[in-house]
Amino acid sequence: MMWKVILYCCLLTEAGRLPMVLAHQADVQLGSSVTLPCLDIKHTDITADLDIQWWTGEHLVTRFQLGKIIQGSRYINRTDLSTKRLRKGDFSLLITHTEYSDSGQYQCVLIKNGQSMTLGEVDLEVKVRRPQRALFIKSGQGVLLSCFGHVDWSGSEAAFVQWKRWTQVVVQWKSGSLFVDPMFEGRVSVLKDRIKHGDISLIFNDTRPDDQGYYVCFFKKNNDIRPAAVINLTVTENMSRITADSGSQIQLPLPNESQVSLSFLPDGGNLTVSVCEVERHLLTCTSHYTNRTLLHNTTLILTNITPPDSGTFIVRDRGTGRTRSVVIIQIFNVGTNKITFGISIIPIVAGVVILVVLSAFSGYCCHKIQKVSRSMERNRKKETEKETEMNLLQPTEVITHEATRSCNESAIIEI
């Protein structure tokens, strides 16, 4: 057994094709760019008929062949292979505007003498921000409820994608056919060509107070229907923002109804807490609020506010359950503000001085860089003349361009 393995390796080495596959891991935030590394360990004999291919599963991502870059249909205008680096045996692939569906295993394959050789593998994970659990929106406005998933496909159609509000189906795609609940007709959509990219977000065109509720997105993956994002959507006719200083008081106008409840969702929190109930001008508050609240006609006054009071106050009609108003409050700590204002002049002056020194210095540096880059260019010209028979790649002018541009920029700073 052992002998066989060694012999196998020897044969491969003899043929110069030791399949030493390097596996990498890469993470990227949705929409950002990422470079998938791939180096030809030997980086020799890069010839004019270089054929390098990037694959993920069955899909071609990008191919460099006969000096041309070909992009797979899912990657049009989103990938790049640096021709300058290819020449040095660096076949790393840049993917821009990453989509959720870009997650997966990528292979970097070199084709040589009709034989393919996998040079590297990269596991790419595209990360999405955790969806907001609670969303507050003024009625009439649009809103996007985010949801992402690796959806099963049946042919060219998504197998199953659905949004529900409580138990009511809002919108659904099932093997190419679309269902929209009459209540949401013309107001919601889940775009078919976005599902392709793993984006099953619900686009709400125009919201109404009745749309309030829990929204859950479902999709079929590996033949299982599973829930993804859960969003508590609150739609209100009255939405306002208040900023106040710590220690002061805030006024929350209440509707004229006899039965009103007030609750609070702290910033960054995920649990709504009860604050007060108002019934026929009688105020009943939870212990944390009893000594800090008073009712003046139809205005609730909250005193001694502190930064932990920053968040969202929700006023509901207890009879109908409707959200009557939402007030988003941000409390600033006055004490620290004053102190920072007192000394803030010093860092500003220091900043200005540093900036002046830096801009003068960069002006000087730039001329140096230009000199260096001019001599580099002369050297490069000589080099390229030698290499023209290779006729593989364009000579690069990047360094000179950058030097010139940054000189112009520093000139602007100096003025």
Ligand X SMILES: *[C@@H]1O[C@H](CO)[C@@H](O)[C@H](O)[C@H]1NC(C)=O
- What residues make contact with ligand X under the rule CB under 6 A? 76-77, 134, 186-187, 189, 205, 232, 234, 237-238, 253, 255-256, 263, 270-272, 287, 290-291, 297, 314, 323-325
Closest separation between CB of residue 145 and ligand X, Å? Answer: 13
Closest separation between CB of residue 164 and ligand X, Å? Answer: 16
Collect all residues with Cβ–Cβ distance below 8 Å to 412 and sequence separation of at least 6: none
Strand partners, 276: 262, 285
- The answer to whether 159 and 220 have CB atoms below 8 angstroms apart is yes
Nearer to ligand X by Cβ, of 290 and 336: the residue is 290
Closest separation between CB of residue 174 and ligand X, Å? Answer: 18
Across 192-343, where does the E strand assignment appear?
A: 202-204, 213-221, 224-236, 239-245, 250-253, 259-266, 273-279, 282-285, 293-296, 299-302, 311-317, 323-332
Nearer to ligand X by Cβ, of 168 and 344: the residue is 168
Nearer to ligand X by Cβ, of 62 and 325: the residue is 325
Backbone φ and ψ of 34, nearest 5°: -145, 145
Nearer to ligand X by Cβ, of 261 and 373: the residue is 261
Nearer to ligand X by Cβ, of 103 and 323: the residue is 323
**Count of H helices and E strands in the chain?**
7, 29
Closest separation between CB of residue 286 and ligand X, Å? Answer: 9
Closest separation between CB of residue 236 and ligand X, Å? Answer: 8
Closest separation between CB of residue 218 and ligand X, Å? Answer: 18
Residue whose entry in the numeric block shows the structure tokens 């019934």: 279
Nearer to ligand X by Cβ, of 74 and 85: the residue is 74
Strand partners, 138: 236
**Phi-psi bin for 16: left (phi > 0), alpha (psi -120 to 50), beta?**
left
Nearer to ligand X by Cβ, of 86 and 137: the residue is 137
Collect all residues with Cβ–Cβ distance below 8 Å to 53 and sequence separation of at least 6: 60, 62, 63, 64, 65, 108, 109, 110, 111, 116
Nearer to ligand X by Cβ, of 59 and 87: the residue is 59
Nearer to ligand X by Cβ, of 108 and 265: the residue is 265
Backbone φ and ψ of 141, nearest 5°: -90, 165
Closest separation between CB of residue 287 and ligand X, Å? Answer: 5
Residue 130 structure tokens = 């955790």
Closest separation between CB of residue 93 and ligand X, Å? Answer: 17
Residue whose entry in the numeric block shows the structure tokens 């993917």: 95
Nearer to ligand X by Cβ, of 234 and 373: the residue is 234
- The answer to whether 151 and 219 have CB atoms below 8 angstroms apart is yes
Closest separation between CB of residue 44 and ligand X, Å? Answer: 35
Residue whose entry in the numeric block shows the structure tokens 């209440």: 254
Closest separation between CB of residue 152 and ligand X, Å? Answer: 24
DSSP string, 201-240: PEEESS--GGG-EEEEEEEEETTEEEEEEEEEEEEES-EE
**Phi-psi bin for 91: left (phi > 0), alpha (psi -120 to 50), beta?**
alpha
